Chain A
């Protein structure tokens, strides 16, 4: 059995105004892609931040190599997992290449300057995200979708074994949505990597995720393999939204039913 990238041990996330929730208890293994599904405010972002060690859990622990994440130095955490945020802050001028290059930060010592090798990694990551032509552009001039792809390029430069992605398809056009999720699936399928993604599109989640976590607004949780979890009744209850099901040769597709 392969070692877990991260273990959730009776983990209850801290949501203001919610007393407690159901505890999450599962390991994230290489080769797994977990989709987090739930309505706004259910705690998808909070869960991702807790798994990255940015927030303390309400109860339970997150384990990295069997050690409580809270006691692990940030630098070591950053070598093992990366998080792409929903929003990106660019207060000061910097170029696209510089922004990708900060992904190397966890691997460089205080006195090291970035080497040609680091630049090479960043440029390759930009190319994977179709951004190589923009390397010298100022970040502030990018469109929302280009900025989102740059955040993913920074993650690719960081190259951690575990990817935490908060709505990675935000702002992306259809082609790049599929391109990003294809990339995640390819990397995960290589068996070296695992991923957790907060997603809003149910069909994309069903297509690309090996496992799902359904996060209910009252703190209820439900998790497991996608085939076991992806049930229309559960999804309707999750989103308080009537869904129509299309059983195609390519699996089950769901579509929201408009109010009459």
Chain B
């Protein structure tokens, strides 16, 4: 029996992106209001305008807003990275965390930090790690020509486990004082995110590229041969997207450690609603990924306040069921 036809998706980009934009603003507002001390919207606005109590101003402008903005940008980057990898591999299970790309970036960043190098070096090193990991996973999964989702995922899982072991090793041999803080590379934590323009800059660049690259990606999603016949320089486009996905992952990991499953959940849910036109899907993923991680981080800060959970725990709790569901469905 064939599945019931789904209703034609809603495709008005202005409505979709507008709705997501409003939701994004609300999610940031909520994350600024909620915490160990709750603030009212009025207090938040007052703090923005320079009024209100010193405590409120400090909470909003120095603690919560920078962290919330970092969460938003990181979530957006992860969702976009997932969407790009899914097109490259033509597989909705692809995600920078599941495939071990985040792990490679974390090892790169950690090595640079242990060597006492500056921020630029940390990002560069994370990018190298992400790129290396990308090459390993895609190289092995493509290797013999034909490959299956099983092969791809196994490669990714094993590579991720390998990077996890390297991180544990590095943290174990490193002198102890900074150890607790560095565990966030393993689970993803925004407590260490600082006000930093790089994630936002990267997010704007990648969303800006979504338009010129988008139609080619749409064609590529139908397979490399079909894309080549329709005039896509497949090899060049694939390399561009590999590099972009690795770069985006590296910036996200440098900001917040290895947070999983955002790149899996968001593109999947959006595709059900708005279809698979990358020119809409990529910007929508950036917004929805930002919303998800902002809310997840707010939850992580408040659920057992004043203690904090790493946000990666929350995304994993959401992402694992989605992943298993997708895997179950892909059997047919």
Contact = CB atoms under 8 A, between A and B. Distances in A.
A156 B9 CA distance: 25
A93 interface: yes
Interface of A: 49, 52-54, 73-79, 82-83, 85, 88-95, 98-99, 102-103, 105-106, 108, 110-111, 113, 136-138, 140-141, 158
Contact of B276 (A88, A92, A110, A141): A92
B226 A85 contact: yes
A138 B216 CA distance: 20
B275 interface: yes
Given A92-B92, A110-B215, A138-B5, A98 B277 contact: yes
Given A93-B275, A141-B5, A102 B219 contact: yes
A108 B215 contact: yes
A75 B3 contact: no
Contact of B3 (A76, A102, A136, A141): A141
Contact of B213 (A79, A102, A110, A137): A110
A74 B228 contact: yes
Given A85-B226, A93-B6, A105 B275 contact: no
Interface in B5-38: 5-6, 8-9
Given A74-B233, A158-B230, A105 B271 contact: no
Interface residues of B, number: 35
Given A54-B225, A98-B277, A108-B215, A78 B231 contact: yes
Contact of A75 (B86, B212, B231, B276): B231
25 contacts: A49-B225, A52-B228, A54-B228, A54-B229, A74-B231, A75-B233, A78-B231, A82-B229, A85-B225, A89-B222, A89-B223, A89-B226, A91-B221, A91-B222, A95-B8, A98-B218, A105-B219, A106-B230, A106-B231, A113-B279, A136-B8, A137-B5, A141-B3, A141-B5, A158-B230
A77 B221 contact: no
B90 to A, nearest CB: 5
Interface string B216-258: 1011011101101111111000000000000000000000000
A136 B275 CA distance: 12
Interface of B: 2-3, 5-6, 8-9, 86, 90-92, 211-213, 215-216, 218-219, 221-223, 225-226, 228-234, 271-272, 275-277, 279
A76 B213 CA distance: 18
A3 to B, nearest CB: 21
Contacts of A74: 228, 231-234
Contacts of B229: 52, 54, 78, 82-83, 85
Given A105-B219, A106-B231, A110-B215, 18 more contacts: A54-B228, A54-B229, A74-B228, A74-B234, A75-B231, A78-B229, A79-B231, A89-B222, A91-B91, A91-B221, A92-B86, A95-B9, A102-B219, A102-B222, A102-B230, A110-B213, A136-B8, A138-B5
A83 B8 CA distance: 28
Contacts of A78: 229-231
Contacts of A54: 225, 228-229
A158 B92 CA distance: 28
B146 to A, nearest CB: 13
Contacts of A88: 226
A76 B229 CA distance: 10
Contacts of A138: 5-6
Given A91-B90, A102-B222, A73 B233 contact: yes
Contacts of B222: 89-91, 99, 102
Contacts of B230: 78, 102-103, 105-106, 158
A158 B230 CA distance: 8
Contacts of A79: 231
Contacts of B219: 102, 105
A16 to B, nearest CB: 11
A214 B291 CA distance: 61
B231 A93 contact: no
A110 B223 CA distance: 19
Contact of A92 (B216, B221, B226, B234): B221
A148 to B, nearest CB: 14
Contacts of A92: 86, 90, 92, 221, 271, 276
Given A78-B230, A95-B8, A138-B6, A105 B215 contact: yes
Q: Which of B3, B92, B215, B219 gathers most chain A CB within 10 Å?
A: B215
Contacts of A73: 233
Contacts of A83: 229
Contacts of B92: 91-92
